[in-house]
Amino acid sequence: MTMRNRSQFENQDGAIVCHGVSKWYGQVIALNNISLEISAGIVGLLGPNGAGKTTLLELLTGRLRPSRGRVRVFGMDPWTQPQVFRRVGYCPDSDGVYEKMSALEFVSLLGRLSGLSAEESHKSAVARLDLVGLSRFTHQKVGTFSKGMKQRVKLAAALVHDPDLLVLDEPLNGLDPIARIKMIRVLRELAESGMVILLSSHILAEVEALTSHIILIHHGNILAEGKIEEIRALIANQPYTYRIQTDDPRSLARALVMVPAVESVEFDLENSSLIVRTAEAAALCKAVQELVCKEGHMVTSLAPLDDSLEAVFQYLVK
Amino acid sequence: MPIYDLSYQRYDGPRRLGFLWWTIARTTAQATLKKPANSRYLFFIFVTFLGFAFLVYFWRTATEYATALFEIDPDTGSLEIRLGHYKFPLSLVFFRYLSILFWPVILYVITSVSAALSADVLGGGLTVILARPLRRRHYVFGKVLGLAGPPTLSATLVIFGAFVLLWGYYFNFFQMLHHLPVLLCSSLYLFLAGGMCGLSAVAFHPRTSTFRKSAGWLFFYWFGTWIFSTASSNQALRTIVSMGSPIHLLDGIYLWLTGVSNPQGVDSRFLRDVITGDVPFYLLPSALLVHFLLLAWRTRNLFVGVR
């Protein structure tokens, strides 16, 4: 194996490093002094429309120059040093395919443009199209493909040069459920092989299925960064909500209101359960445990309702 | 663990990134050559060569019965073409021929620009392409080469063919060497004209407007300015307007480089001014450079919102 010149990456800490990055268009601030570092794994970029997700991806893929601050991808400035894209695969949300080319021609062309030889590019294109489940359609014109197939062609093109960093803008858009499951599996395998994946999506369930590491952007600011559970734990002003399934909700509710950690208890008699809010999740769990063991309450399940990505997202952008 | 420690597991060798423009050029040329109209332009270039070959052959074989069209001046050793009372040097003959060859080149470029750029600029392909280790100038260079390369190369080959034909019929080896600068200047003319055509086509390609508008701008740039500059009778005004005409600038540079000193046989008043020295030569390459820089600057429009 030939080793790449490491010296140019020695000073870097992560695949992506943004330091004090701002981007504005006239009077409109798209990104406001954001700093982040992404080193490994899959990271989901989340935010409502107009939050600044696309601007951030465009900065990372060298399509925009920051108004202020520093963007580094593998230690290089993507705006002035396009050679860094030898190590970066980008799958845009927009169409971005040559409709008159066959899938194989298109993916091979992008392999050539990434510096692969004709032979390498062809081999890699065949392998990548197979990876995304398009091996039967390699010689078919991309223009005849469905949206989901085009999406997979773009993903194959983003992977053709075996990048170290994959930037995906809404990668699962248009995919049917089976293709979506397969794609999620592929992306996980790629991440396990050492590839860093940054993906933006507005479908929270998709991001949740892929990763628990997220970056939440809102109004050009990073609201939160890290694992979903960790972020939830930091939202101190929002009590945790739990659903407790029991055969005797009234009796359990009476016992729970005596627990200092419990803030409120609601009945959900249809489901024979209680909705309990608490600021201290650990204390509640311990109290329920004691009620079950010492007072003989029958509890069939105790499940958090708001440490999902959607709940965290709602809390943060509210 | 830093990512670069993991990434090297899959790295399998160095990559050549300096010649990515060639991939762009080749893909563009393939896309443009698929257009049926373009094969007709290339065929027309070939037909002009057949016409030239026929003339050379006819006047060579007819010398016993008619006045020779092509003559070698015994004093200078230069090939001259006699038409009536006038004698034209080879450089002027090639100049005329280049004027004919230039038309299919520019028409090829104008009709191809849509096929060459629309998929990239309007179809969103540029977003994907520029997310590769490709510099913008390499992309533009590749596009210009792919657009203007096939017709320019065809025209240049035809000029070479015409020269070889004359050599076969009229020149010995040393006379061929004597006339070689004409061939080189003709090739330079075609390369410059082709390059400017391609660059202007890329520069005037609209991101959001129509193909017709783009073609209209190109026609105006190449032919509108030329017509305006030939229509003016005032020398100062003519000179100023001609500086905006790339055809006049290229013609003037060719005539100056080939050393044409007699304005006889040159129709354009501006070019006569160049030959007689009324218009300083240095203005021509300077103006052409300004054209080049302005067009290159204008190509930035292609990348708005892309990179």
Q: List the domain range (segments joined by +) for residue A242.
A: 235-317
Is residue A105 domain-shared with residue A199, that is, in the same domain?
A: yes
State the distance between the two ends of chain B, measured CA to CA, in whole angstroms.
31
Q: Does B8 touch chain A (CB under 8 A)?
A: yes
Contact across the interface for A98 and B23, Cβ inside 8 Å: no
Is residue A60 domain-shared with residue A128, that is, in the same domain?
A: yes
Is residue A3 included in any domain, yes or no?
Answer: no
Is residue A15 included in any domain, yes or no?
Answer: yes
Is residue A308 domain-shared with residue A204, that is, in the same domain?
A: no
* pLDDT at site A191: 85
Is B135:B232 a contact under the CB 8 Å cutoff?
no
Q: Helix (H, G, I), strand (E, B), or coil: what is residue A38? A: strand
Backbone angles phi, psi at B88, to 5 degrees: -110, 135
CB interface of B with A, residues 110-129, below 8 Å: 119, 123-125, 127-129
Is residue A2 included in any domain, yes or no?
Answer: no
Q: Does B307 touch chain A (CB under 8 A)?
A: yes
Quote the number of domains for chain A.
Answer: 2
Is residue A1 included in any domain, yes or no?
Answer: no
CATH number of the domain to which A181 belongs: 3.40.50.300
Q: Does B133 touch chain A (CB under 8 A)?
A: yes
Instruction: Compute the nearest-CA separation of A38 from chain B (Å).
Output: 9
User: What is the token pair recorded at B192?
Assistant: 């410059």
* pLDDT at site A299: 83
* pLDDT at site A318: 63
User: What is the token pair recorded at A258?
Assistant: 């005596």
Select from A188, A211, A232 the last residue of a domain. Answer: A232
Give Dmax over CA atoms of chain A in angstroms: 74
Contacts of A84 in chain B (CB under 8 A): 133
Where chain B has pLDDT below 50, the residues are 1-13, 208
Select from A180, A215, A232 the last residue of a domain. Answer: A232
Question: Looking at chain A, which runs of residues are DSSP E strands?
Answer: 16-25, 28-38, 42-46, 68-73, 88-91, 165-169, 196-200, 213-218, 221-227, 240-246, 262-268, 273-278, 299-304
Contacts of B8 in chain A (CB under 8 A): 1, 3-4, 6
Q: Does B12 touch chain A (CB under 8 A)?
A: yes
Contact across the interface for A86 and B306, Cβ inside 8 Å: no
Is residue A267 included in any domain, yes or no?
Answer: yes
Instruction: Kindly give, in sequence order, each residue whose CB lies less than 8 Å from that of residue B155, ignoring residues fewer than 6 positions away.
Output: B45, B101, B102, B104, B105, B190, B194
Is residue A243 domain-shared with residue A270, that is, in the same domain?
A: yes
Is residue A140 domain-shared with residue A247, that is, in the same domain?
A: no
* pLDDT at site B5: 36
Is residue A113 domain-shared with residue A128, that is, in the same domain?
A: yes
Residue with tokens 């004093």: B75
Contact across the interface for B6 and A99, Cβ inside 8 Å: no
Is residue A225 domain-shared with residue A248, that is, in the same domain?
A: no
**Half-sphere exposure of residue B266, counting CA atoms within 13 Å on the CB side?**
26
Is residue A76 domain-shared with residue A157, that is, in the same domain?
A: yes
Backbone angles phi, psi at B64, to 5 degrees: -70, -25
Is residue A257 domain-shared with residue A131, that is, in the same domain?
A: no
Is residue A136 included in any domain, yes or no?
Answer: yes
Contact across the interface for A82 and B2, Cβ inside 8 Å: no
pLDDT in tens, A193-237: 888 899 887 766 677 778 878 888 888 888 778 777 777 666 656
CA dist A48 and A201 (Å) reads 10
CA dist B131 and A94 (Å) reads 13
**Best to test chain A binding among B27, B132, B300 (most A CBs inside 10 Å):** B132
Is residue A139 domain-shared with residue A243, that is, in the same domain?
A: no
Is residue A194 domain-shared with residue A224, that is, in the same domain?
A: yes
Select from A182, A217, A232 the last residue of a domain. Answer: A232
**Best to test chain A binding among B1, B3, B33 (most A CBs inside 10 Å):** B3
Nearest CA in chain A to B123: A96
Is A107:A122 a contact under the CB 8 Å cutoff?
no
* pLDDT at site B249: 92
* In chain B, where the domains are located: 18-302
Closest listed residue to residue B77, CA positions, set B185, B13, B202, B173:
B173
Strand partners, B88: B81
Return averaged pLDDT per consecutive 10 residues of chain A, 318 residues in all. 36 75 84 85 82 86 87 87 86 79 91 86 89 87 86 89 88 77 85 86 74 82 77 66 84 85 82 82 81 82 70 66
* pLDDT at site B156: 93
Nearest CA in chain A to B24: A113
Is residue A197 domain-shared with residue A240, that is, in the same domain?
A: no
Contact across the interface for A2 and B27, Cβ inside 8 Å: no
CATH number of the domain to which A283 belongs: 3.30.70.100
CA dist A112 and B133 (Å) reads 10
